[in-house]
Structure 1
Amino acid sequence: MTRASMTRENLARSAVLSVADSLADCLDILRGVDVVQRVLLIGGGAKSEALCSVFPDTLGIPVTVLETGEYVALSAARQEAWAAGEFPRWSRTASRELRPSGDAGVREFRRRYGLVRRATEAELT
């Protein structure tokens, strides 16, 4: 980072990419136990054009953005139904599919984020 590159836009993009990379780390852990079938973006993240613009490239896979809904309440109700031995299927509506665009800047940020994360982990152990 240089004084010239330290613009509001670059700092904002860095913050968004950091959130996306943190979520990508979580996805990598889930991939390791083979439970990932697809990625759905809901809630506040789905409303963020900044996150939507970088998320597919950060994850390296398409992302389905869902229409706004009461997904937390529905998930709680579904868990209650499962506990009672029922397996309801509620529909959800996708508002759009986001595909990776090949943004080299996003990939480079992911690479550097990983280097810093691993260095920090090593320092803490």
Structure 2
Amino acid sequence: MTRENLARAAVLSVANSLADCLDILREAHVAVDRVLLIGGGARSEALCEVLPDTLGMPVTVPEAGEYVALGAAQQAAWAATEELPEWSRSVSRELFPAGDVGVQEFRRRYALARQETQAQLG
């Protein structure tokens, strides 16, 4: 095991955790038509490289901004008016799945390990 392999496994674990969350939303019949990557994750080139293949869908990286504060303001406006405001954002880049077989194999093994752990915990 090399440092590079360990670092890649750590990044892929974060990406797979996000993919699990996406799966849970879909199981709850939440339509997910886009993924935005903001904050520290957006500054991680390693995460940007593996996330689209892990999620199986494109990922949008907006220009850096105060998205937590803007999200809170948007929710407050939504609660006050019962209409979700649409605010524009500048896109830094669009990331698309590249067909990385290593990422897909990690996803498969990650799912197996999660299932085995859940079975052991009952």
- TM-score range for the pair, normalised by the shorter chain length: over 0.9
User: Is it true that 1:88 corresponds to 2:62 in the alignment?
Assistant: no
| TM-aligned CA distance change 1:87 to 1:58, over 3 Å | closer
Answering whether residue 67 of structure 2 is matched by residue 71 of structure 1, we say yes
2:12 maps to 17
User: What percentage of aligned pairs have identical amino acids?
Assistant: 73
Q: Which residue in 2 is equivalent to 1:29?
A: 24
Q: Is residue 118 from structure 1 mapped to residue 115 from structure 2 by the alignment?
A: yes
The count of residues paired between Structure 1 and Structure 2 equals: 120
When the two chains are superposed, the root-mean-square deviation of aligned CA atoms in Å is 1.0
**2-side partners of 1:117 and 1:12: how far apart?**
20
Of the candidates 2, 12, 16, which is equivalent to residue 7 of structure 1?
2
Secondary structure in structure 2 of the residue aligned to 1:40: coil
Alignment partners' CA distance in 1, 2:31 and 2:24: 10
- Map of 2:95 onto structure 1: 98
Q: Structure 1 pair 83/34, CA: closer, same or farther in 2 (3 Å)?
A: closer
Q: Which residue of 2 aligns with 1:45?
A: 41
- SS of structure 2 residue aligned to 1:68: coil
Q: Which sits farther off after the overlay, 60-69 or 84-93?
A: 84-93
How far did 1:88 drift? 2.5
**Shift of residue 70, structure 1, vs aligned partner:** 0.5
For structure 1, the residue ranges without an aligned partner over 5 or more in a row are 1-5
| d(CA) in 2 for partners of 1:9, 1:19 | 16
What is the match of residue 59 of structure 1? 55
Q: What TM-score does the superposition give when structure 1 sets the normalisation length? A: 0.92
Q: Deviations over 1:29-49 (max 9, x none)?
A: 112213211111111111100
Using the TM superposition, name which of 58-67 and 14-23 deviates more.
Answer: 58-67
